[in-house]
């Protein structure tokens, strides 16, 4: 059903966007506006299809979640970019409040964002003046719970009508629906997704004063029992026993945690190319930092393994230099975390170690392995490889699609971004194309 419903929209969305851009100036303003209406309507229909399919999956018990480490900063940055301009255009204020430093929680990032987008978009829809805010709090009595509170100064919901807003296509009353539109499936899906994330949504509202929707989740996702909203705060949790780790993982743990060294973390600005150095040998780390600066990079140093993922999520490095033997958490564990996180898996990791582990490093996802203590002599090669990865441009995209019209529409769309493409209708033909000498 998913394929059959979405496929007809592919060409509509791609070609209507190309028409609305009017690159060859062949359409007048009214015709461009028509193309934009087609695209907007197609996107609305796609959104409704997605919601119906999501709700169907949840009700059938087929919704799959991926619990990974996610930085709260990633969440707030995305939501700010998405809603700040929308709120300004409506003449209301949008604010994100977080007294806590950015932390990493274990949850399904896509589904958490889906819930918060639903809550914030509804808050903006039903607020004519004042402001909408998102506040992030860690429970002061139990730091295993994080709460995302979406508040507005909108129309509010009568107490007796509050249960209705979580039902599909419902509204508190008919006059509200005529003025603002319905809530669709957003809140229904949000409530069910919150349950799947081991949490709950709590609603408080007063008519003509506003509403607050509080999403409370366990910080460590599926590793803890479901949040009990009646006990917030505090909530009791029962930890699940972790799987037995291989002896090799714990083997490379250094017993000494050195002092932090001064690096470029406070000087990193948008657009800077950052190198993350994960190394407990302070003198070697300082040498790497100096070399990175000389090559025009900002460098951030983590002297312990358990800080590595946080730093990677916060500073978005273009490359990582990783030691194997580290305090608290070994380089193997760090590499596994980096490669299992959707936000960091693409970052090239260069392992440096006195342990002869080149084969294991490459098999676990590192792009290179350098032996210590001679590794420093090869550092220029590392930076050359990082620059090659940064500057590497895809020359051609292979499209395998049995519908020639859809394939042609996609190829035409890619062409507007100066991306060449090759179309094949069969998988076997696609494999042959990939194996061809360029």
Q: What is the DSSP annotation of 66-109?
A: --EEEEHHHHHHHHHHHHHHHHHHHT-EEEEEE-SPP-EEEE-H
User: In this structure, what token pair is assigned to residue 342?
Assistant: 């959707």
> Are the C-beta atoms of 285 and 251 separated by less than 8 Å?
no
Higher pLDDT, 102 or 315: 315
Topology at the third CATH level for domain 248-391: Rossmann fold (3.40.50)
Band of residue 309 on the pLDDT scale cut at 50, 70, 90: very high
What does DSSP say about strands 326-327 and 420-424: parallel, antiparallel, or unpaired? Answer: unpaired
- Architecture of domain 68-231 in CATH? 2-Layer Sandwich (3.30)
Higher pLDDT, 291 or 242: 291
Mean pLDDT of the chain: 81
Instruction: Kindly report which listed range (72-76, 194-198, 208-212, 434-438) carries the lowest average pLDDT score.
Output: 434-438
Band of residue 229 on the pLDDT scale cut at 50, 70, 90: very low
Residues forming beta bridges with residue 300, ordered by sequence position: 276
With 60 as the cut, is the pLDDT of residue 242 above it? no
Segment 43-59 shows an average pLDDT of 82
Is 224 exposed, middle or buried (CB count within 10 Å of its CB: 0-12, 13-18, 19+)? buried
Which stretches of 253-329 are assigned E, i.e. beta strand?
A: 253-254, 274-278, 298-302, 319-323, 326-327
Is 230 exposed, middle or buried (CB count within 10 Å of its CB: 0-12, 13-18, 19+)? exposed
With 70 as the cut, is the pLDDT of residue 348 above it? yes
Instruction: Kindly report which listed range (34-38, 315-319, 333-337, 393-397) carries the lowest average pLDDT score.
Output: 393-397
Segment 352-378 shows an average pLDDT of 72
Percent of the chain whose pLDDT exceeds 90: 26
Higher pLDDT, 108 or 395: 108
Residue indicated by tokens 């194309």: 433
Segment 323-335 shows an average pLDDT of 89
pLDDT of residue 103: 83
Secondary structure (DSSP) of 238-260: -PPPPPPPPHHHHHTEES--PPP
Band of residue 95 on the pLDDT scale cut at 50, 70, 90: very high
Cα 335 to Cα 333: distance, rounded to the nearest angstrom: 5
Segment 89-111 shows an average pLDDT of 88
With 70 as the cut, is the pLDDT of residue 328 above it? yes
Its pTM stands at: 0.50
Q: Using a CB cutoff of 8 Å and minimum separation of 24, what contacts does 199-202 make?
A: 199/226, 199/227, 200/226, 200/227, 200/229, 201/115, 201/119, 202/229
Higher pLDDT, 43 or 318: 318
With 90 as the cut, is the pLDDT of residue 226 above it? no
Q: How far is CA 184 from CA 161, 180, 402, in A?
A: 16, 12, 34
- CB proximity list for 216: less than 8 A, separation 6 or greater: 145, 146, 147, 148, 199, 200, 202, 227, 229, 232
Segment 236-240 shows an average pLDDT of 35
Higher pLDDT, 165 or 430: 430
Buried b (16+ CB within 10 A) or exposed e, 48-74: eebbbebbeebeeeebeeebbbbbbbb
Higher pLDDT, 417 or 250: 417
pLDDT of residue 221: 58
Total length of the chain: 438
- CB proximity list for 255: less than 8 A, separation 6 or greater: 327
Instruction: Kindly report which listed range (31-35, 49-53, 90-94) carries the lowest average pLDDT score.
Output: 49-53
User: In this structure, what token pair is assigned to residue 401?
Assistant: 């699609």
With 90 as the cut, is the pLDDT of residue 47 above it? no
Q: How far is CA 257 from CA 254, 290, 305, 350, 373, in A?
A: 8, 22, 10, 22, 20
Q: Which range is most confident: 246-260, 317-331, 401-415? A: 317-331
């Amino acid at each position: 059903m998913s394929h059959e419903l979405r496929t007809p929209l592919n060409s509509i969305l791609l070609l209507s966007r190309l028409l609305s851009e009017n690159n060859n100036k062949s359409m007048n303003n009214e015709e461009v506006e028509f193309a934009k209406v087609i695209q907007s309507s197609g996107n609305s229909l796609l959104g409704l299809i997605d919601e119906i399919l999501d709700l169907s999956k949840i009700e059938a018990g087929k919704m799959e979640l991926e619990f990974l480490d996610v930085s709260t900063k990633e969440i707030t940055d995305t939501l700010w970019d998405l809603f700040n301009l929308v709120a300004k255009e409506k003449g209301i204020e949008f604010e994100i409040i977080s007294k806590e430093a950015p932390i990493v929680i274990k949850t399904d990032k896509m589904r958490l964002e889906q819930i918060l987008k639903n809550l914030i978009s509804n808050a903006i829809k039903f607020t004519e003046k004042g402001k909408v805010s998102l506040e992030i709090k860690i429970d002061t009595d139990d730091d295993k719970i994080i709460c995302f509170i979406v508040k507005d100064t909108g129309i509010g919901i009568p107490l007796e009508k509050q249960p209705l807003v979580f039902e599909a296509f419902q509204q508190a009353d008919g006059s509200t629906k005529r003025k603002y539109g319905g809530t669709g499936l957003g809140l229904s899906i949000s409530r069910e997704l919150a349950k799947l994330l081991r949490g709950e949504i709590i609603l408080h509202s007063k008519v003509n004063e506003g509403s607050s929707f509080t999403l409370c989740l366990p910080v460590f996702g599926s590793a803890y029992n479901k949040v009990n909203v009646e006990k917030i705060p505090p909530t009791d949790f029962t930890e699940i026993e972790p799987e037995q780790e291989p002896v090799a993982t714990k083997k490379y743990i250094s017993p000494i945690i050195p002092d932090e060294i001064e690096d470029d973390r406070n000087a990193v600005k948008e657009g800077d190319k950052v190198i993350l150095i994960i190394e407990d040998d302070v003198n070697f780390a300082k040498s790497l930092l100096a070399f990175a600066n000389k090559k025009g990079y900002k460098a951030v140093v983590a002297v312990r393994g358990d800080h590595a993922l946080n730093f990677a999520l916060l500073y978005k490095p273009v490359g990582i230099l990783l030691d194997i033997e580290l305090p608290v958490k070994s380089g193997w564990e760090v590499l596994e975390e980096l490669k299992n996180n959707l936000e960091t898996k693409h970052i090239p990791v260069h392992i440096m170690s006195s342990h002869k582990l080149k084969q294991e490093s490459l098999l676990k996802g590192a792009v290179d392995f350098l032996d210590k203590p001679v590794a420093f002599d090869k550092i220029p090669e590392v930076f050359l490889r990082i620059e090659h990865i940064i500057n590497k441009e895809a020359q051609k995209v292979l499209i395998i699609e049995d519908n020639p019209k859809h394939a042609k529409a996609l190829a035409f769309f890619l062409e507007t971004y100066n991306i060449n493409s090759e179309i094949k209708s069969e998988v076997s033909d696609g494999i042959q194309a990939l194996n061809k000498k360029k």
